[in-house]
Amino acid sequence: MGRKTAKRISLGSAVLVVVLTGVLQMQAQSKTPYPAMDALDRYLMPDRNAEIALARSAAPDSISRDAKVLVLGPHGYETAVEGKNGFVCAVERAWMAPFDNPEFWNPKLRGPICYNPPAVRSILPMTYKRTEMVLAGQSKAQIEEGIKAFAKKELPALEPGAFTYMMSKEAYLTDSDGHNMAHLMFYTPLMDSAVWGAGVDKSPVMLNPQFAREGIDVFMVLTGMWSDGTLAPVNN
Amino acid sequence: MVATIMAAKGEVVNGRAFTAVAALMFVVIPAFGVALPSRAQDDKTLYPRMAPIEQYMMDRNAEIALARSAAPEAISRDAEVLVLGRHGYETAVKGKNGFVCVVERSWMAPFDDPEFLNPDQRLPLCLNPPAARSHLLLTFKTTDLALAGLSKTQMFDSIKSAFDKKEMPLPEPGAMCYMMSKQQYFGRKYGNADPHLMFWFPKTDNMFWGAGLPGSPVYVHQYSPEPITEFIISVSKWSDGTAAPTD
């Protein structure tokens, strides 16, 4: 992976995109701005309606308006709005990032995401599980071990076509420049990133090892468009 | 890009092997369960029969370059490249990364596409390894049938029979392709259309990608007679990194 691509990825999403490069690994080792979980209140959104709106902004209104919407409470995600099209929208927090991401505990991160029905059944349970362990006060190491066991024994099999929207203009995915990136995510069994031509110069596809511990690859496709239809920057 | 997509919203036709955002525009709803109309095999078209074979041929080097332009150079420079000969596709350049780049012709368009058999269409795509092992065989078969001079009805029946008898493979997991050539040409109506990626699955009506809904960059195409579902993701840049038109 080239330096340019790595830079793009790191800018794109700390929640969902990867720290793959040596440069960023060095950053992670030498600079850990978020070494541990912050006070829980800093991860919560006090305005429930604001969280609902942010969650829905992950996908075009034509999809999210009929989606089930979750909000994060002190004890986990709760259903705020019942849906009727099978999609589920939520706002992920920093602990959904790869475990070696230096922003794993960044309380500012907000990752609005809308899951399609196959992803609701086979990907969303990981969000629930990680969040449950975080809110139970487990360390990152404990969560990592716990998620491995969960993936092995309890996680439903990955369904073909599992897919999510992350096209919110209001997302905050990283402290790095830009903070955000409009994209879609496809979930597959682990495979060589080269199979999709991911991460190479000028490719709109990137591999995100967010769920590598769980045995799932996440391929991201940059859309160049926010959920409201306005143009989003794409830095190839 | 957006305008091209929006211009076609609401049009729903049935079709077969779809290789264009132009064609995907016709079929934006079925992921949410709207049945496609049956194929009108006797539709009047601008191209009622095959043109002289020479009109579908290209200069070999130009075809290699056009095929490679479907994907960013970082992918296509190490891909196998096929060119169309009088008897089917031939390997022009051996590859080493598992991708295969090829310029499809208009017989890969939906059967009821008015530009089916348009000799001017040039549809470059680079298939990833799972697609090269599965979906590319459909391109080969359809091309063989076209070059053998079969009618559309005969082609349709032959392809249907091949899938019914399981002589043709369904898309492998992860099968996809790049279609990002600035030089791609879908015919009179859609011209160069938009850069996009395509993902193939065994036919499904229940993946619900939000395809074809207002604001979604995702489109779906249900093949017929092949039991294949194709999802198309519009992207914002051509394979050379330049921005695609936004209006």
The secondary structure of chain A, three-state, reads CCHHHHHHHHHHCCCCCCCCCHHHHHHHHHCCCCCCCCCHHHCCCCCHHHHHHHHHCCCCHHHHCCCEEEEEECCEEEEEECCCCCCEEEEECHHHCCCCCCCCCCCCCEEEEEECHHHHHHCHHHHHHHHHHHHCCCCHHHHHHHHHHHHHHCCCCCCCCCEEEECCCCCECCCCCCCCCCEEEEEEECCCHHHHCCCCCCCCEEEEHHHHHHCEEEEEEECCECCCCCECCCCC
Question: For chain B, what percent of residues have pLDDT higher than 70?
Answer: 81
pLDDT at B28: 32
> Per the omega criterion (within 30 degrees of 0), is the bond before B225 cis?
yes
Higher pLDDT, A4 or B187: B187
Q: Cβ contacts (< 8 Å) between A160 and chain B: which residues?
A: 173, 201, 204, 207
Higher pLDDT, B187 or B11: B187
pLDDT at B210: 86
Under a CB-based contact definition with an 8 Å cutoff, are residues A189 and A160 in contact? Answer: no
Per the domain annotation, does B153 fall within a domain?
Answer: yes
Q: Two tokens at B189?
A: 């109506």
CB atoms within 10 A of CB B114: 17
**Total residues found in chain A within this entry:** 236
For A191, the closest of B99, B174, B208 (CB atoms) is B174
Distance from CA of A132 to the nearest CA of B (A): 28
Averaged over B54-69, what is the pLDDT? 98
For A163, the closest of B206, B209, B236 (CB atoms) is B209
Strands B176-179 and B123-127, by their bridges, are antiparallel
**Residue from A168, A181, A196 to probe the interface with B (highest B Cβ count within 10 Å):** A196
Averaged over A80-87, what is the pLDDT? 96
A216 CA to centre of own chain: 13
pLDDT at B44: 58
Would you call A224 an interface residue with chain B, using a CB distance cutoff of 8 Å?
yes
Distance from CA of B39 to the nearest CA of A (A): 26
Per the domain annotation, does B48 fall within a domain?
Answer: no
Per the domain annotation, does B246 fall within a domain?
Answer: no
* pLDDT score of A11 more than 80: no
Distance from CA of A188 to the nearest CA of B (A): 7
Q: Of A16-20, A24-28, A179-183, B81-85, where does mean pLDDT reach its minimum?
A: A16-20
Asked if A223 and B128 come within 8 Å (Cβ–Cβ), the reply is no
Asked if B71 and A165 come within 8 Å (Cβ–Cβ), the reply is no
Q: Of A91-100, B15-24, B135-144, B157-166, where does mean pLDDT reach its minimum?
A: B15-24
Per the domain annotation, does B45 fall within a domain?
Answer: no
Would you call B52 an interface residue with chain A, using a CB distance cutoff of 8 Å?
no
Q: Rounded to an integer, what distance in angstroms lies between the CA atom of residue A190 and that of residue A188?
A: 6
* pLDDT score of A169 more than 50: yes
Higher pLDDT, B45 or A5: B45
User: With bands split at pLDDT 50, 70 and 90, how would you rate the model's confidence at A205?
Assistant: very high
pLDDT at B41: 43
**Residue from B126, B196, B207, B222 to probe the interface with A (highest A Cβ count within 10 Å):** B207
Under a CB-based contact definition with an 8 Å cutoff, are residues B137 and B64 in contact? Answer: no
* CA distance readout (Å), B21 to A31, A221, B2, B123: 45, 16, 11, 11
Asked if A195 and B237 come within 8 Å (Cβ–Cβ), the reply is no
pLDDT in tens, A143-164: 999 999 998 899 999 998 899 9
pLDDT in tens, B135-189: 999 999 999 999 999 999 999 999 999 999 999 999 998 899 999 999 999 988 8
Would you call B236 an interface residue with chain A, using a CB distance cutoff of 8 Å?
yes
* 8-state DSSP, B112: T
- With CA atoms as reference, the chain A residue closest to B70 would be A203
Distance from CA of B129 to the nearest CA of A (A): 6
Under a CB-based contact definition with an 8 Å cutoff, are residues B215 and A229 in contact? Answer: yes
| ipTM rounded to 2 decimals | 0.78
Asked if B72 and A202 come within 8 Å (Cβ–Cβ), the reply is yes
Under a CB-based contact definition with an 8 Å cutoff, are residues A93 and A77 in contact? Answer: no
Q: Cβ contacts (< 8 Å) between B219 and chain A: which residues?
A: none
Say how many domains are in chain B: 1
SS3 B105: coil
pLDDT in tens, B215-247: 899 999 889 899 999 999 999 999 999 999 875
Per the domain annotation, does B62 fall within a domain?
Answer: yes
Higher pLDDT, B20 or A49: A49
Per the domain annotation, does B82 fall within a domain?
Answer: yes
- With CA atoms as reference, the chain B residue closest to A188 would be B174
Asked if A236 and B97 come within 8 Å (Cβ–Cβ), the reply is no
pLDDT at A235: 62
Would you call B204 an interface residue with chain A, using a CB distance cutoff of 8 Å?
yes
Under a CB-based contact definition with an 8 Å cutoff, are residues B31 and B208 in contact? Answer: yes
Per the domain annotation, does B137 fall within a domain?
Answer: yes
Distance from CA of A100 to the nearest CA of B (A): 27
Q: For all residues of chain B together, what is the average pLDDT?
A: 83
pLDDT at B247: 55
Range of the domain at B178: 2-29+53-234
Distance from CA of B176 to the nearest CA of A (A): 7
* pLDDT score of A28 more than 90: no
* pLDDT score of A131 more than 60: yes
* 8-state DSSP, B7: H
Per the domain annotation, does B241 fall within a domain?
Answer: no
* pLDDT score of B29 more than 50: no
Q: Cβ contacts (< 8 Å) between B69 and chain A: which residues?
A: none
Averaged over A209-218, what is the pLDDT? 87
